[in-house]
Amino acid sequence: MGYMWNYRLCIGLPKKLGVTEAGPPMDVKQVFMEYAEGNTYLTAEQLRRFMVEVQGEAEANSMEDAERILEEVLHRKHHHHSVKFTKQGLSLEDFQSYLFSVDFNPPLLDKVHQEMTAPLSHYFIYTGHNSYLTGNQISSDCSDVPIIKALKRGLRVVELDIWPNSSKDDVLVLHGWTLTTPVELIKCLKSIKEHAFSASPYPVIITFEDHLTPDLQAKVAQMVTETFGNMLYYPESECVKEFPSPEELKYKILISSKPPKEYLEPEASNSVKEKDSDEDVRGTVSAELTCDDEKSDCDDTSEHSQCEGDNYEPYERLLRPSGAPAYKNLISIPAGKPKGKLKEKLKVEEDKVRRLSLGEQKFEKAIASHGTDVVRFTQKNILRIYPKGTRVNSSNYNPLIGWMHGAQMVALNMQGYGKSLWLMHGMFRSNGGCGYVKKPDFLMKVGPNDQVFDPKTKLPVKTILKVKVYMGDGWHLDFKQRNFNLWSPPEFYTKVGIAGVAADKMTKKTKKRKGNWTPVWDEEFTFPLTVPEIALLRVEVHEYNMSEKDYFAGQTCLPVSELRPGIRAVPLFNRKGEKFNSLRLLMRFEFVQVDF
């Protein structure tokens, strides 16, 4: 019988057939005894005190909340019993179940809690690159499926490369000059409309990489307005000096692209250009009504406001003769690459805001010589960074380099997976996963002599983060034995590290724990942090393999600034960032502020 018991344990059958369940760690036992005041049960009032004093949950000051949690924990733990469970409180075992529950005791707040009324340029925005690709950058299919998947995850910026079809009468989405099979633009737009706000009410921005003729730009304008209707945000004026806020733009779709070439050159006249026929007028976006010469610097195109002294409806100026808004007037976040040297490209203009796109390599050159200029630019304007062209397998760069310089749109290939994407997922678990994360104050401040934050400056330690890894559970449910070593029990260890500015980077790991699907480590690590505001806590679990590479056994990435103190249940994710059903760690987080 002993041989069979060990065999069952090794193959990872359910707990009732041999997987032992570890008891509560000593810290859990001690805190239970302290708050239960020597009794065998924790009452609702004692649970409430624990949540406030140990877990730092200031909002948990209601007895009703504590009673509700107590009842739900007991119901989940004992619902299969025919005898009615006692309501006197939580036993030590029940208390352990509560702490180990991701639903009741998560490491992050699951609601929007940051200020959402600042301009868009004050936020990091969840941004994808070539959002329509299903795989590699050269030969994969183009589809709306990866767009839908990304939107459901919380993505807020979708990139579409738009090209004419072979007959030049319709618009396709594809990666130009490659073997990627196209998808119709209208299909992508309809899918965006359907799924844009499934994960977040905050605005979705569509960036068009535009390779169209004026005729097809007009067609796109019609497609966009007919598809999105009232969801579409029209810029109030070309004189915009500041972007609107995420709160103002709830449930809105915004378009960001380069203005048509006609508008990059000064026009000889502000009057309507004469064409031979209405058909010719329909074929160009430059035929629109404008303010008269005296008010031409206003050029307001809003549906809701008009230049002072106009005696016609403002919407008339937005409409083309064909009835569709001009393509140019759909662009609420204008993009472009100004001519001149890099410092000129990063020039901040008082009277307007814009979006600048830089490839990963150009961005690296920019921060090497003009790091503070980049930070200053992003205080008002939007900077988008995208992967270099040689990443044909849809790999990614380290997004933290962009965030620490204030870049709002750090675009990654969402269809891939790997550590860079894990960091992206971690950053945008902040603020309830709404896709907009308020930039730290230090990135927005301007000091004496026009000084801004310099990421190269070594700063003193500001915060010490203490992380204790107690134990883990769920591998016997989410993994099969064949995922690990077939001939011996699993031997799990955990790596815990910080991703952030250079001074804060550090990785540590626990000892290996052999022979149990519920490993207990009970080890604490200390991380001194100089810039905790943009630091990310990386956690990976591996199963040790003596002869080959260790087996992956789960990961997560958590924003340090959002970590809830106390003893927490931390869910783990697979390589693609999808949450496991049962896999989780029990960890403790503690912050020590440093006086300097």
- Of 78, 79, 175, 195, the catalytic one is 175
Whose tokens are 């937005």? That residue is 318
What's the token pair of residue 332?
A: 């609420």
Distances (CA, A) of 422 to 106, 339, 357, 417, 536: 18, 36, 23, 8, 10
Contact by Cβ (8 Å): 405, 375: yes
CA 146 – CA 130 distance, rounded (Å): 10
CA 26 – CA 30 distance, rounded (Å): 6
Residue type, 543: E
Number of other CB atoms surrounding residue 511 within 10 Å: 11
Cβ-Cβ contacts under 8 Å for 140 (sequence gap 6 or more):
133, 134, 180, 415
Q: Is 542 part of the annotated catalytic residue set? A: no
Sign of CA dihedral 347, 352, 353, 355: negative
What's the token pair of residue 42?
A: 């924790």
Q: How far apart are the first and last CA of the chain?
A: 63
CA 425 – CA 133 distance, rounded (Å): 19
Contact by Cβ (8 Å): 206, 355: no
Whose tokens are 């624990």? That residue is 50
What's the token pair of residue 114?
A: 């940051």
184 DSSP β-pair partners:
172
Q: Which of 397, 404, 384, 499 is nearest to 457 (CA)?
A: 404
- Of 78, 80, 122, 129, the catalytic one is 129
Distances (CA, A) of 35 to 45, 52, 589: 10, 12, 19
Whose tokens are 């010719």? That residue is 280
Report the chain's C-alpha Rg in angstroms. 28
Contact by Cβ (8 Å): 392, 138: yes
CA 64 – CA 47 distance, rounded (Å): 11
The number of C-alpha atoms within 13 Å of 43 and in the hemisphere containing its C-beta is 6
Distances (CA, A) of 61 to 46, 52, 67, 96, 121: 11, 7, 11, 21, 36
Contact by Cβ (8 Å): 566, 589: yes
CA 232 to chain centre: 22
**Dihedral angle, C-alpha 78, 81, 82, 87, nearest 10 °:** -30
Helices 185-195 & 145-153 angle (0-180, nearest 10): 20
Element (H, E) at 164: strand 157-164
Q: Which of 471, 470, 482, 484 is nearest to 553 (CA)?
A: 484
- Residue 257: phi, psi to the nearest 5? -165, 175
Contact by Cβ (8 Å): 146, 153: no
Q: Is 175 part of the annotated catalytic residue set? A: yes
CA 184 – CA 171 distance, rounded (Å): 6
Please identify every residue annotated as catalytic: 129, 175
